[in-house]
Structure 1
């Protein structure tokens, strides 16, 4: 959605698009990134949510934020738009994905309105969807060796949990720093059996 900011409130904006004002709910992380001011041109990634009793527009500064929002409301049972917005207001989308991929329940539980049980359910239901993308981001950043990432993802493809696969690969790398992907997979399979 491209338009001009008509009104600016803490968690929502009214955006003028061709003379029509659209109310858009926006997480605090997006507000912080955009710094909207009345009269300013704005470009939002929008999700249109329809219910029996109404429609709501949710706007985000980035595609990643919108994708996390949709993932939460579509893939996690018991998570609706209000909780998804609270999550994105309490934590950047990239950090959220890293917390899910590494099963950081305690950090997720610190988000206002998100208890330990809900955080555990989010990790359980999303870690395989979020973890693969996070692994490749870590490779690009130089935090994870490509051979380790390949081994980890091969173990996930074989049905192992990503958290367990990562621990097993890390343990092998401690004793064999220059191990190939094949050696890492074989060693991890032996240790996980």
Structure 2
């Protein structure tokens, strides 16, 4: 099993990254909440990973720390929640926000996430509550506000049209419907924003 990747970040196409490890490029999928904390292209990066082997694919998921990976692994133990949905959940809210929503029985917040219907949200609250009782994190999502509002961008210029297209592609890959993604992007679009900034603003709009 691949438990950690350390190398040079050579590609960023939300929600996927490409990391060069001694000449071998590893493709990883990251929750957008982890994606925002990535260094610029060409810089070293270390990600803890979860490796999934299926009949038709081998998939590598990356996280900034052990806690994020642990929550991902707890999520995929829930009935009806696979890696793709877990990735979407952790893209729509960070780990502490999710734990807070579960502890507060906030089903209405969870159903705003792509692919999470009322039954799935209720199941998440019921099944995850006991698993998260010893979670060591913030008591409310407000404690992470500085991180949520932080602006991250790459020094590489991206044409505005490409940035919007990249943001739309990322939202669709996370499970949002075309009309949802278009509406959110239209509401937050500013020409000077990078694709990552557009995705972040759109996810906040969708929440």
Could you state the TM-score of these two structures normalised by the residue count of structure 2?
0.62
SS at the partner of 2:132?
A: helix
Task: Provide the residue aligned with 1:69 in structure 2.
Answer: 72
1:41 is aligned, of 27, 37, 44, to: 44
Cα distance between partner residues in 2 of 1:24 and 1:117: 30
> Which residue number corresponds to residue 19 of structure 1?
23
Q: Distance in 1 between matches of 2:137 and 2:64?
A: 24
Q: Return the offset for 1:136.
A: 9.5
Which segments of 5 or more consecutive residues in structure 2 lack a partner in the other structure?
144-207
Match of 1:8 in 2: 12
Q: Pick 1 or 2: higher relative contact order, CA cutoff 8 A, min separation 6.
A: 2
- Distance in 1, Cα, partners of 2:18 & 2:107: 35
RMSD: 2.0
Distance 1:115 1:40, change over 3 A: same
- CA positional deviation for 1:101: 1.8
**Of the candidates 112, 119, 123, which is equivalent to residue 121 of structure 2?**
119
Q: Structure 1 unaligned runs (5+)?
A: 142-193
Residue aligning to 2:56: 53
**Residue deviations 1:27-85, cap 9 Å, x none?**
10001122x422111111111111122210000112121111110112x0111000000
Figure out how many residues of one structure are paired with residues of the other and give that number: 137
Q: Report the equivalent of 1:95.
A: 97
Contact in 2 for aligned 1:5/1:15 (Cα 8 Å): yes
State the secondary structure of the residue aligned to 1:111.
coil
The one-character-per-residue Cα deviations of 1:80-110 (angstroms, maximum 9, x if unpaired) are 0000000000000111011112211111111
Q: Counterpart in 1 of 2:175?
A: none
The 2-side partners of 1:111 and 1:89 are apart by 9
